[in-house]
Amino acid sequence: MENLFADCNLCPRRCGADRTSGRTGFCRMPDYPLVNLIKLHFGEEPVISGRNGSGTVFFEGCSLGCVYCQNYTISRGPTGRGTRMDEQSLAEAYLRLQEQGAHNINLVTPMHFAPVVAGSVALAKDSGLTVPVAVNCSGYDLVPTLKLFDGLVDIYMPDMKYFSPKYSSEYSHAPDYFQVCCSAIDEMVRQTGDIVLGDDGLIKKGVIVRHLILPGGLFDSKHIIDYLTSRYGNRIFISLMSQYTPMPSCTGRLKERPSERSCGILADYLASAGQTNAFIQEYESSGKEMIPDFLT
C-alpha cells in the first residue's frame, strides 16, 4: 500500500513533505499519531456527550492553525508530552473507552494522521467496537482523505468557520477555506446520510456542523447559515457556538468576545430559516471552561 506520509498531501496545504524521513509540513507532525489526552468528555453537544460522556481522543497538531485556537497548546506542534500510538494501541484505547461507558468514540483533529487513524477504527470494529465513531475536525479537509474513512465513521463534526476569504486568510492563512469546506461537508453527508438518533436521543449517524461566532463576524455568520440551511436543511445538525474566548495570541478585534446582541441575532436568524435540528450555545459559555487539562 502506498505510504501517504512519504509525499504528504493529506490536507489542502499539500506540503509534499516526506514525513517518513523526519521532515514535517504545516501540521508539524511526524508520520505517526501523537495523542495528548484520552478521556470521557462532557463538553460536546448533548446528542454526543449524553450522560456518560464522549470517549474523546485528542491528537496533537493541526492542518489549519487558527490564530485564536483554544486548543493551541497541543495544536501548534509536538508538546513533548504526547504519546506515540499505532493502529493497535489506538484500537485498544477505543475499546477501553467503550468499556468505561462512552457513548461514542470522538476523534479530535485526526486528519493529518488519517491513514493510521482509519486503520485503527477498522481494527477496533473488527475487535468488538460497537459504539459510533465520530471525527471532530476543522472542515478544512480534502475529499480523498475523507474517503479513507468511508464506511468506518458514523458521525462527522466539522467546523464551518468562514465564508469570506478575507477572514479565512487573516485568521487561518487559508483563503480557499470555504470552497474546501463545502466539498468536505458534501462528502461527509454522502458517507453518513441523514441524521439517525437512537432511542436514547443520542446521535448514531449523521453530521453536526459547528460554527463559532467570531467578534465582528455577524454578516459572515449569516452567509454560513444561509448556505447550510439552503443546502442541507434539517438533514444535518447546525451547532451555533458563542463560546469564543480570546487566547493569548489574539490581536485586534479578536481580543474581544462577540457581543451578546450579535449572538442573539444569529440564533434568531437560524430559527427563521426553519432549522429545527440546531444547537444554540448559551452566551455565558466560555472556551476556557471547555479546554481539557492537556499534557503540556
pLDDT digits (tens, 9 = 90+) for 146-175: 999 999 999 999 999 999 999 999 999 999
CB 209 within 8 A of CB 136: no
- Percent of the chain past pLDDT 90, that is, above it, reads 94
**Cα 77 to Cα 50, 59, 117, 118, 287, distances in angstroms:** 31, 10, 18, 22, 20
Class of domain 19-290: alpha beta
Round the average pLDDT of the chain to a whole number and report it: 96
For position 291, what pLDDT does the model report?
A: 81
Please determine, for residue 1, whether its predicted confidence score (pLDDT) is greater than 60. no
* Mean pLDDT across 168-183: 98
pTM of this structure: 0.97
